[in-house]
Amino acid sequence: MNSTIHKVGAILLAAGISTRMSGIDKTIAPINGIPTFWYPLKTLIDSNLIDQISIIVSESNISQIQRYLQDWNFSKTIRVLIGGQFRQDSVRIGINSLNDSDIIVIHDAARPFITNTMLIQGLKEVKTTGSSTVAIKTTDSIKIVSEENFSIKSLDRSKIWQIQTPQFFMKNILQKSYQKTQTSKEIFTDDTSLVESQGYQTKIIEGLNTNIKITTKEDLILAETILKLGTINNE
């Protein structure tokens, strides 16, 4: 256990639909011959900050992921659970599986290059704020566009951040937020948005441009390039 006060559980989300991958499951797509989800999972396994891990998978990939886990024989026990229809359904399943945890870390399995530094910073902030996330500043100009594809308004990019994972929450705040939104029809694209809908604030931690999300085949090439250049500092 990493602390006598807080026990930390991690949810690795691997149940999403890979709509832009031409039928390839992005979580098990190979990067240098190794399934994508191995990279973030290995970081969570190796970190002494993480006490429990649950992987949320789909019915279509559970057998393959279980075979991989059996072959890899990691030192920590890993729960494998089938997710729900939407992201928040899968996260809810993950939360309920981490009964002994005081803090929940949520990470997308399609983001291979999480670092231990992110975990250290996020866990430090969440203990005082209740909600924190890794993000990067945008470098592009951002515009609001009409349905007819006409520019309506330019936004001040100095105030625009691209939200990533991992995201960190005190479990009581996350659980309470999920309970209050359980009957809502609103679909949240990430969990900070969900807790913010209940009046909580999220502390932003500056992340890395290398913390990419695999959503296309081209992203797999980019990921292999990142590994080849050795730009990941997993300390």
Annotated domain spans of the chain: 8-229
What is the pTM for the complete model shown? Answer: 0.93
Q: Where are the beta strands (DSSP E) in the chain?
A: 8-14, 30-31, 34-35, 52-57, 78-82, 103-108, 131-137, 142-145, 151-155, 161-170, 203-206
Cβ proximity of 32 and 224 under 8 Å: yes
For 22, other C-beta atoms within 10 Å of its C-beta total 8
Provide the b/e sequence for 3-16 (b: ≥16 CB within 10 Å).
eeebbbbbbbbbbb
Residue pair 188/91 in contact (Cβ under 8 Å)? The answer is no
Q: Whose structure tokens read 């390839």?
A: 24
Distance CA 214, CA 196 (A): 26
Distance CA 121, CA 1 (A): 18
- pLDDT (tens, 9 = 90+) of the chain, 235 residues, equals 444 468 999 999 999 776 666 678 999 999 999 999 999 999 999 999 999 999 999 999 999 999 999 999 998 999 999 999 889 999 999 999 999 999 999 999 999 999 999 999 999 999 999 999 999 999 999 999 999 999 999 999 999 999 999 999 999 999 999 999 988 888 898 999 999 999 999 999 999 999 999 999 999 999 999 999 886 665 5
Distance from the Cα of residue 123 to its chain's centroid: 14
| Rounded Cα distance, 65 and 74, in Å | 13
Query: In the prediction, which pLDDT does 235 show?
Result: 57
Which residues lie across from 57 on neighbouring strands? Answer: 14, 82
Tell me which residue has tokens 């996260």. Answer: 91
Please state, in angstroms and rounded to a whole number, the distance separating the CA atoms of residues 205 and 133.
Answer: 6
Return the CATH number of 8-229, one of 3.90.950.20, 3.40.50.300, 3.30.43.10, 3.90.550.10.
Answer: 3.90.550.10
Sign, CA torsion 18/75/134/132: positive
Backbone region of residue 173 per phi and psi (left: phi > 0; alpha: psi in -120 to 50; beta: other values): alpha
| Residue-level pLDDT at 129 | 94
